[in-house]
Amino acid sequence: MISEWYRTRDYQFLAISDHNVLAEGERWMKHSEVLRRAGEEGWQKYLARFGRDWVETRGDAADGTLEVRLKPFDEYRALLEERGAFLLIPSEEISDSVGGAPVHLNATNIADVVQPLGGTTVREAIENNIRAVEDQARRRGREIIVHLNHPNFHYAITAEDLAHAVSERFFEVYNGHPGVNHQGDEEHPGVERLWDIANVIRLGQLEAAPLWGVATDDTHDYHHHGEGQSARPGRGWIMIRARHLTPESLIRAMRRGDFYASSGVVLNDVRYDAEGAILEVEIQPDGDAVYTTQFIGTLAGEAADSTRPQDDEAGDAPAADVPEIGQVLAEVEGTSASYRLTGKELYVRVVVTSSLPHVDPSFDGQLRQAWTQPVGWERRVSP
């Protein structure tokens, strides 16, 4: 039913991830549990859409033994996929924790379940789980991509953690769940701010490649729309420039940074001319929406040396309070914008904000946005 929701709304690829499990094997669920999770409405939708010849049950509702078979991935993909139009990709949310702090990563195009490996620190847990996925990719000979989920969930992951776990290249710059503290609070920076701080540490101190940002739904509720701030679908996604609609082609494009994240703004094009040092975006108009394009970056120099931990005992200002990190280098209104890098920037990225409100906001006052990947950093990172 989840796959069908996305397929009928013109999504072209989808990865459904659940906590530490893949949709495989013979599994049955009590009908009473199905109703508890999806309600009678969800159950009837399932029957109406796919029919009794697809929906398998056993037992008897009268004595409470009625069960429903959970369809494994390899079965339901055959019913939904369409060549060149809609692709399903197996995925897992590796759900780990360190000292009670949640450390969640999505492994996409995975073949086998990865059991969370833990670690003595958040950074170690991130690295351990990424190594486990990379080991599977080598053993299975397949492309698998890993991204770090919702860093501000329980405020479990700091910018320093994001920076120093250098084997991680992707993280969620936007997650549509209303409980992930996207905007931060008085004591914690918002997620975009974390991105800039982490990338300044990586490029300014560690000679490591920057993080790239993805957007996701993190959906949990498909049937009870309108009932409070639930986690509903359609809030965040990524747009990839790839030649073929295959997991391999999509993942390779992501590794090149040839994609952007969105919560409602569509870009016709993103171009970066490395030789001419020009970054350009073209925005797809949407009615009478007004677009503001900000070129965000950090200049090399003092700011790059000002990335001190938030608990720094020397009394220095924490990185979150350094205004030179992630500053607006230029701002343009309209459906096209460009910026010429001067060579002083550690990186430059783009955030485009529409004047239109999000169609289903996850936080108050949310507008539609798009985020491109940082560019101009390559010469600062050793091969």
pLDDT, position 305: 60
Q: Please name the residues in contact with 283: beta carbons below 8 A apart, sequence gap of 6 or more.
A: 265, 266, 267, 268, 291, 293, 334, 335, 336, 352, 370
Residue 58 burial (10 A CB sphere; 0-12, 13-18, 19+): exposed
pTM over 0.85: yes
Q: Please name the residues in contact with 55: beta carbons below 8 A apart, sequence gap of 6 or more.
A: 46, 47, 68
pLDDT, position 314: 45
Q: Convert the pLDDT of each residue in 213-239 to its tens digit.
A: 999 999 988 876 555 578 999 999 999
pLDDT tens per residue, the chain (383 residues)?
Answer: 899 999 999 999 999 999 999 999 999 999 999 999 888 989 999 999 999 999 999 999 899 999 999 999 999 999 999 999 999 999 999 999 999 999 999 999 999 999 999 999 999 999 999 999 999 999 999 999 999 999 999 999 999 999 999 999 999 999 999 999 999 999 999 999 999 999 999 999 999 999 999 999 999 888 765 555 789 999 999 999 999 999 999 999 999 999 999 999 999 999 999 999 999 999 999 999 999 999 999 999 866 665 555 554 444 456 667 889 999 999 999 999 999 999 999 999 999 999 999 999 999 999 999 999 999 999 888 76
Site of tokens 């500053």? 327
The number of residues in the chain equals 383
Distances (CA, A) of 255 to 8, 67, 93, 181: 28, 43, 20, 27
CA distance 144 to 146: 7
3-state SS, the chain, equals CHHHHHHCCCCCEEEEEEECECCCCCEEEEHHHHHHHHHHHHHHHHHHHHCCCCCCEECCCCCCCCEEEECCHHHHHHHHCECCCEEEEEEEEEEEEECCEEEEEEEECCCCCCCCCCCCCHHHHHHHHHHHHHHHHHHHCCCCEEEECCCCHHHCCCHHHHHHCCCCCEEEEEECCCCCCCCCCCCCCCHHHHHHHHHHHHHHHHCCCCCEEEEECCCCCCCCCCCCCCCCCCCCEEEECCCCCCHHHHHHHHHCCCEEEECCCCEEEEEEECCCCEEEEEECCCCCCCEEEEEEEEECCHHHHCCCCCCCCCCCCCHHHCCCCCEEEEEEECCEEEEECCCCEEEEEEEEEEEEECCCCCCCCCEEEEECCCECCHHHCCC
Query: Would you state the structure tokens that stand for residue 339, as one six-digit string?
Result: 């910026």
Q: Please name the residues in contact with 172: beta carbons below 8 A apart, sequence gap of 6 or more.
A: 147, 148, 149, 150, 151, 191, 213, 214, 215, 216
Q: Please name the residues in contact with 240: beta carbons below 8 A apart, sequence gap of 6 or more.
A: 13, 250, 253, 254, 258, 259
